A and B are shown apart, each in its own frame.
Chain A
């Protein structure tokens, strides 16, 4: 991005925007709409490093709220791609119930991905993270669960890893969002992800929902990870190098 000033929506409009009570009683699309209007009110110059731009180096997710939204979008792309591949595979040992539930989850993640894409495109025009490509070579999509002798993850192992990561990511990113409306949207998505986690964990080990490696035993609070911690883990499956260092900053 050049130094020439141009008007774009702000990453972090002041909290004093009139977004509160009247709006939060409506549906989540209302928040998104209201936010677009509110942010449009605060026109500022865009900072040099806040755009996701593909260059020779890592792809930055961006700064401020658009960075957080791109971060969520990257994770939803990852999950959606994974479950689409599960849906297209024949997993040995999957029950009819499990096949149907994984198809459900696949739909949810595709909807999350496309919702975020549309929201970012609308509120932060030109700053959408590009579509990512993924490498799932370490996952055996024909196996339900990894056997001790296997080198690749089974579908349930990978699903648990992705869902755990996604929930911990949303848990850590919520407070980075400056616009409350985005917080509500993130909340509407993360609780569905948390339901996925509980479902998949119980398939692996009955009764292992909300176990101590997911919910801190001392506090009863769910696990949380920072954007850079999450991307470091997710990077193993993403072909493009991602840089989450400015997310929410």
Chain B
């Protein structure tokens, strides 16, 4: 198949390994190897390090995400009248899972002898704790629809971030397996929140689709949308810039039914870069 030789040819191109030396050491973090390292490696890595591509970075970034989600559900459950009675149990379950994930990731860091970052004070308005800053996410804790929209984006972000970070902890089989299991839970959360929104009249599927109604955000909050679903709508996967995969030839659809472009984009959730994820998470810190 012509496509295959294209892919092979592409793969033969030399990879940029400029970041490799640092990774070669740090990706051991998260395993027992950490205890043997001189100096407190955790201390040498600021929480907002530029790259998030080591296993220590991976676990701390996932911990930040889980803490953020736990805080959102905790405050939403505490906000009088925000969540309809019929959905209280759903969000109690979501909160419980996030709480368990926080505990798990905290334990993983502790077991590795790494420093557990302090939980930041989260601000779901997007003002980052400064009252004079513009509100980026209005009514999150007073309007159920606004709350659901944010919950969906954070869950979608979570699905994508776990996908990315699983890649960074492949050196630790047990941690990897647990992270993959959390990943699947996040996807179920997202699908449910999307169901709830659809039940309230929003055009949205249980999986990111190009037919989903856009969640409109101010420009300063756009990075959240990018992190949650940016790129999901695109049915075209590029071999490299300007060279799309010829899906029509590539896929051997045999059921005598045309497959929609939107199905092609829906069928695969996408990972995202840790940098974009961090920028989105920082909107609430």
Q: Which of B36-44, B96-104, B113-121, B137-145 contacts A (4 or more CB under 8 A)?
A: B96-104
B170 interface residue per 8 A CB criterion: yes
Please name the residue on chain A nearest to B273 by beta carbon: A25
Cross-chain contact A33 with B251 (CB below 8 angstroms)? no
B interface residue count range (under 10 / 10 to 19 / 20 to 34 / 35 or more): 35 or more
Q: Which residue on B lies nearest to A212, using beta carbons?
A: B93
| Interface residue? B213 (CB, 8 A) | no
**Contacting chain A: which of B5-13, B128-136, B220-228?**
B5-13
Chain A residues with CB under 8 A of B253: 110-111, 114
Chain B residues in 8 Å Cβ range of A122: 1, 3-4, 7
Q: Output the least CB separation between B86 and chain A (Å).
A: 8
| A interface size (C-beta, 8 A) | 74
Nearest residue in B to A174 (C-beta to C-beta)? Answer: B180
How far, in angstroms, from A205 to B19 measured CA to CA in the complex?
49
Given the known interface contacts A40-B8, A167-B184, A198-B192, the answer about A115 and B251 at a Cβ–Cβ threshold of 8 Å is yes
Binary B-proximity of A172-216 (CB < 8 A = 1, otherwise 0): 101100001001100111111111111100100001011100110
In the complex, residue of chain A having the shortest beta-carbon distance to the beta carbon of B207: A195
Distance in angstroms from B160 CB to nearest chain A CB is: 8
Indicate which residue in A24, A80, A175 contacts B271 across the interface (CB closer than 8 Å).
A24
Distance between Cα atoms of A211 and B94 in the complex (Å): 10
Contact code string B182-206 (vs A, CB < 8 Å = 1, else 0): 1111111111101100000000011
- Bound together, the chains give a CA A211 to CA B113 distance in angstroms of 33
Inter-chain contact A107/B176, CB cutoff 8 Å: no
Closest approach, in angstroms, between the C-beta of B214 and any C-beta of chain A? Answer: 19
Contact B191 A209 (CB under 8 A): yes
Pairwise interchain contact B11-A36, C-beta atoms closer than 8 A: yes
A194 and B270 alpha carbons, distance in the complex (Å):
14
Task: Look across to chain B and name the residue whose beta carbon is closest to the beta carbon of A25.
Answer: B273
Judge if A108 is at the interface, Cβ distance under 8 Å: yes
Kindly report which residue of chain A lies nearest to residue B89, judged by CB atoms: A207
Partner of A36, one of B7, B93, B207: B7
> By the criterion CB–CB under 8 Å, are A187 and B181 in contact?
no
Q: How far is the CA of A24 from the CA of B19 in the complex (A)?
A: 13
List residues of chain B with CB within 8 A of the CB of A132.
none
Task: Decide yes or no: A197 and B268 within 8 Å by CB, A191-B159, A202-B195 being known contacts.
Answer: no
Give bound CA distance, A98 to B173, whole Å: 39
Residue among A24, A35, A198, A202 with the highest chain B CB neighbour number at 10 A: A198
Distance in Å from the Cβ of B63 to the closest Cβ of chain A? 14
A37: Cβ under 8 A from any B Cβ: yes
A210 to B41, CA, bound (A): 37
A191 & B187 in contact (Cβ 8 Å cutoff): yes
Task: Give the docked Cα–Cα distance between A180 and B93 (Å).
Answer: 32
- Please report which residues of chain B, range 76-134, place their CB below 8 angstroms from some CB of chain A when the two chains form the complex: 87, 89-90, 93-94, 96-101, 104
- In the complex, per-residue mask of B240-277: 1 if CB is within 8 Å of any chain A CB, else 0: 10000100001111110101100110111111010000
Among B6, B104, B187, max chain A CB count under 10 A is at B187
A binding-site residues for B, Cβ under 8 Å: 15, 18-30, 32-38, 40, 80, 84, 87, 101, 104, 106-108, 110-112, 114-115, 117-118, 121-122, 167, 170-172, 174-175, 180, 183-184, 187-199, 202, 207, 209-211, 214-215, 219-224
Q: A118-B1, A195-B187 given. 16 additional CB < 8 A pairs?
A: A36-B4, A36-B8, A87-B255, A110-B255, A121-B4, A170-B184, A174-B177, A175-B177, A183-B170, A191-B187, A198-B188, A209-B188, A210-B93, A210-B94, A210-B97, A221-B182
Chain B residues at the A interface, C-beta cutoff of 8 Å: 1, 3-4, 6-8, 10-12, 14-17, 19-20, 23, 53, 87, 89-90, 93-94, 96-101, 104, 159, 162-164, 166-167, 170-171, 173, 176-178, 180-192, 194-195, 205-207, 237-240, 245, 250-255, 257, 259-260, 263-264, 266-271, 273
- The contact sample of 19 A-B pairs, CB cut-off 8 A, is A27-B237, A40-B8, A101-B206, A111-B253, A122-B4, A171-B177, A175-B173, A187-B180, A187-B269, A192-B187, A193-B184, A195-B187, A195-B191, A195-B194, A197-B188, A220-B96, A220-B100, A223-B181, A224-B177
